[in-house]
Amino acid sequence: MVRSRATPTLVVTIVFFVLASIFVALRFVSRVGVVRKVVLHDYLILLAWVIDFGFVFAICYGTTKGLGLHQQDVPPSSNAALNTSEYVANNPVLMVLKTSILTFYIVLSKTNKIFRWAIFATILVVNAAGIALTMVNIFQCEPVSAAIWLPANGNANCFSIVTIYLSSAPVNLITDVAIFFLPLPILTQLRLPRKQKLILIITFSFGFFTAVVDVIRVAYLQSAATSNAVQKTNGLGDDGNSKLHQDFSWYGAFTFMWSAVEINVGIICACVPSLKPLAARLLPRMIRGSTESSSTQFGSAVRSKFPRAEAAPLAIPEIQNPPASFMAPGAYTDQGPAAAAEAAPPPPPHRLSQELIEMSDFLVNSGPGLSDDTESSATTDPSPPLNMTTFFDFVNLKKPKSMLAMSNKESIPPLALTTILFFLWGIGYGFLDTLNTQFGWITGVSTWGSLGLHAAYYGGYLVSPLTIGRFMLKIWGFKSTFIAGLFIYACGALIFWPSAVLRSFPPFAISNFIVGCGFGVLETAANPFISLCGPQENAEIRLNLSQAIQATGSVLSAVLAEKVLFRSVTSAANLVRFQWTYLAIGLFDLLLAAAFYYLPIPEATDDDLQELADRRKDDVTARIFGLPVVWATFTLAAFSQFWYVASQEVLIFSFTDYVQQQLPNGSADLMPLDFLLLGRGLFALGRFVAAIANLFFKPRWILLVSYIGLIVFAVLAKELHGMSGVVIGLMLFLFESGVFSITFAISLRGMGRHTKTAAAIMATTIGGGTFYPFFGEIARIHHHGSVPSSYVVLVVGYSASAIFPLYLMLVPQAKKQVDPVLNDYLHRRRLTLRGRPSRRKNGDARNETGNGNGHSTPPNNKRDHYSLGGVLSRPRSLMDEPSFTVGFETAPSASGVSVHDLAYEHDRT
């Protein structure tokens, strides 16, 4: 019996097209009969429906010519007709459909420039990708006619349709998610009656189903791609016309069916918001509720817009400050979004009313114009003013305190939230490293090719921090930078999805680069956020703990990949299963970005950063050979960080080969990859140890000891052999662990208003991992393939990096600049009427210097200066400041001893 998928393909396609046609018809009844106005997005949806009709007709026609049958069951006379039906692309209809939805979104706000520019950017991406993919579909064969008629001599070269559709999958999914999330920042500011709010949420949530259908569609595409890969592995594939040899008539049937479902579900979702005027006319009580109507919620706005309804004037509602990422660009300065929010004047009342009217028209009437009949029906009852509020009723959008003014206890929630990002990119890095290794093994990529994939990832760090990260951080602050980094990372993760299935090196390298760009933007914001959020004497401790969580995520994902996901991966067909992990990561990134948008994230303005630096003005303004000490320290820190990361990546990339050469007969229980996992585990453990060590020792001493250990053990790893060499190699992971965090935190001390630029440069230095592993491979070749001998590059790299701790130990000005000071954070004095500092609950007043101008000053007693105290760190609390009170007037004591010194003396006693 001949197996066929034609019947389910035909039935499902027709059913969904009929449903979409009904919704399109109801939309135009609503627009023409009720609203009495047809605008651009209505015409675009009509054009999408017309193209959809052609697409559906082609599928139905194809089922009569063999679509749904195995290729061997298709009559040869039907091949041309079958190819013709498959030749109809779905890209044009998706392009027009999404453009219609995005054009519809523009009516949400005509005054919010950021929101409008985001829409225009998405429209550009949708249309550019749609046109490009359509052209690829048209010119898929050489000669072009071979897409339908195979030449008699058989000389034809065609791209696989599966390849074309899989290439479009990431763009489709990313734009689907963008269309789903774009209106939420505007809509979630509205306070509506519960029933109307529920209807509104459901209405705009329909778009999520399009993304779900797209995922199902790609699953069938992967099945077709896997089948083709298996056939080529068995020698049954063909490098010429792929259609006749990949059994696409069988696998493509459900692919086309789900493509039709995706398009028609998209049309239905696009029509749903426009049906509300019709539903309000036909089912008024369901829309309005028992005691209120949807129209009365906006009656004031409608009456103020139309002269005949001016009986009641429009009451301007109270509206909270818009979120930072959606404020007008002109409202921002280098001082950051928090300062801009304070400095920027509120929008004039006429702009507020205009925007609210546009939104009310959209929600009630789905358009800016009303007929006379609609107007009268919308203004029958008196109405309260439109109210705007925070995200639904439960998210507190209260402006958070500056991160520089937070105590240890206050900084815990934002630090915990940001540490999730560290864990996330640790997970991504572990999967990425393992996936690159397996991809190279399956596809036969050489060592140089694997180095190219590695360089593509770290090349993202060379590009994104200074081009995207710094711009976002300086203009819009930490929250927007987090969101941008997560979105870029999600795009790279979604591109991983089809690229590995296609077994193509270029898209795999591109996806590595995009993920690297996303991580580069995240590190530009996340590392300084952890360093700056809370008292500065604990910056190294906080960053080491967060980086330890990142390393833990890297270990967990690597173990999961090696022991579970990749345990039975021996071909491209098995590699498909791993792509679902990246889909989950990409979608989780997007959800996390949405959560960051609504959660209060503390910021640090350039003015606050400069004020914090001025608290130790004598220390940070000192000069070394005419150069400010802060810039000398930062330059050497960046130099050291570059060589450290470069050397670290040489070790990671070559360690499995190092173990294989040291233990040629293997180990009884452990494989070379197991030793690499053990090294990563020691790396994560070392960061926890470094965090604890910073409680008792000064950071520069820990850094010096780390580099001494790295240089000594690198030399020993080069010279020793056997298990002794392997153990010494593992010790390199342990001594590497705390270097990055300590160097990064030290580099930002005293940078003032240049701190954010410095953070972007420090994130760029991670790009040192791009080129140096190539030199490691060159050294191995030079030493006749000996990996231990090639570790001379590690000795050179660690030695170059060690210049920085030597500088910190030998230059007195550097010591005073980088050594932490107790309770070093912003806390401005509040004076009572008697001129005494107010006693705050958290004890902020007791930490003031009392210099009469509301700012603190550093200790000026040389006997107690932190940098003169030797190796040990001052005792301090990680949870709160010393629990004592000090009664004093606003002026400091005659001896010049500040409250910082008093706090220190209290701790000592």
pLDDT digits 0-9 by tens, 112-140 = 777 888 889 899 999 998 888 888 888 87
Residue 216 has pLDDT above 50, yes or no: yes
CB 262 within 8 A of CB 176: no
Residue 854 has pLDDT above 70, yes or no: no
Mean pLDDT of 858-867: 46
Query: Tell me: domain 409-604, CATH 2.60.40.1180, correct?
Result: no
Residue 872: helix, strand or coil by DSSP? strand
Which residue has better confidence, 216 or 693? 693
Q: Considering all CA atoms of the chain, what is the largest pairwise distance in Å, rounded to the nearest integer?
A: 105
Residue at 183: amino acid letter: P
Residue 327 has pLDDT above 90, yes or no: no
Band of pLDDT at residue 827, cut at 50, 70 and 90: low
pLDDT of residue 567: 64
Same fold, 409-604 and 619-820: yes
Mean pLDDT of 834-857: 42
Q: What residues does each domain of the chain span?
A: 6-282, 409-604, 619-820, 821-909
Residue 809 has pLDDT above 50, yes or no: yes
Element (H, E) at 624: strand 623-624
Q: Which residues are 837's β-sheet partners?
A: 831
Alpha-carbon gap, residue 352 to 359, rounded angstroms:
11
Residue 873 has pLDDT above 90, yes or no: no
Q: How many CA atoms lie within 13 A of 656 on its CB side?
A: 12
Mean pLDDT of 597-620: 86
Alpha-carbon gap, residue 686 to 692, rounded angstroms:
10
Query: Tell me: domain 6-282, CATH 1.10.3470, correct?
Result: no
Which residue has better confidence, 5 or 223? 5
- Per mean pLDDT, which range of 616-625, 626-635, 840-849 is the poorest? 840-849
pLDDT of residue 258: 87
- Residue 592 CB contacts under 8 Å (≥ 6 apart), including other chains: 420, 421, 424, 486
Mean pLDDT of 673-692: 93
pLDDT of residue 887: 40
Band of pLDDT at residue 774, cut at 50, 70 and 90: very high
pLDDT of residue 398: 54
Percent with pLDDT over 90 in the chain: 31
Q: What is the DSSP-derived secondary structure letter of residue 77? A: G
Which residue has better confidence, 423 or 396? 423
Residue 839 has pLDDT above 80, yes or no: no
Mean pLDDT of 39-44: 91
Alpha-carbon gap, residue 732 to 341, rounded angstroms:
48
Runs of H (alpha helix) within 188-233: 194-205, 207-233
- From the list 60, 83, 56, the residue with the least C-alpha distance to 71 is 83
Average pLDDT, the chain: 76
Element (H, E) at 130: helix 113-138
pLDDT of residue 576: 62
pLDDT tens-digit readout, 638-678? 999 999 999 999 999 999 999 999 988 776 678 888 899 99
Residue 468 has pLDDT above 60, yes or no: yes
- From the list 425, 424, 426, 449, the residue with the least C-alpha distance to 436 is 449
Range with top average pLDDT, 307-321, 550-564, 602-616, 673-687 = 673-687
- Per mean pLDDT, which range of 308-312, 514-518, 822-826 is the poorest? 308-312
- Residue 120 CB contacts under 8 Å (≥ 6 apart), including other chains: none
Residue 342 has pLDDT above 60, yes or no: no
Q: What is the pTM of this model?
A: 0.76
CB 516 within 8 A of CB 488: no
pLDDT of residue 519: 92
Residue 402: helix, strand or coil by DSSP? coil
Range with top average pLDDT, 264-273, 352-361, 439-448, 504-513 = 264-273
- From the list 528, 521, 520, 558, the residue with the least C-alpha distance to 546 is 528
Which stretches does DSSP call E strand in 371-435? 387-388
pLDDT of residue 460: 94
Residue 357 has pLDDT above 90, yes or no: no
Q: Which residues are 158's β-sheet partners?
A: 141
Which residue has better confidence, 326 or 649? 649
DSSP secondary structure, 814-841, as one string: HHHHHS--TT-S-----B-TTSPBP--T
Mean pLDDT of 787-799: 94
Band of pLDDT at residue 415, cut at 50, 70 and 90: very high
Mean pLDDT of 850-874: 47
Residue 401 has pLDDT above 90, yes or no: no
CB 232 within 8 A of CB 201: no
- CATH level 3 topology of 619-820: Growth Hormone; Chain: A; (1.20.1250)
pLDDT tens-digit readout, 239-290? 444 455 656 777 778 888 888 998 999 999 888 888 888 887 887 765 555 4
Mean pLDDT of 722-741: 94
Alpha-carbon gap, residue 555 to 686, rounded angstroms:
13
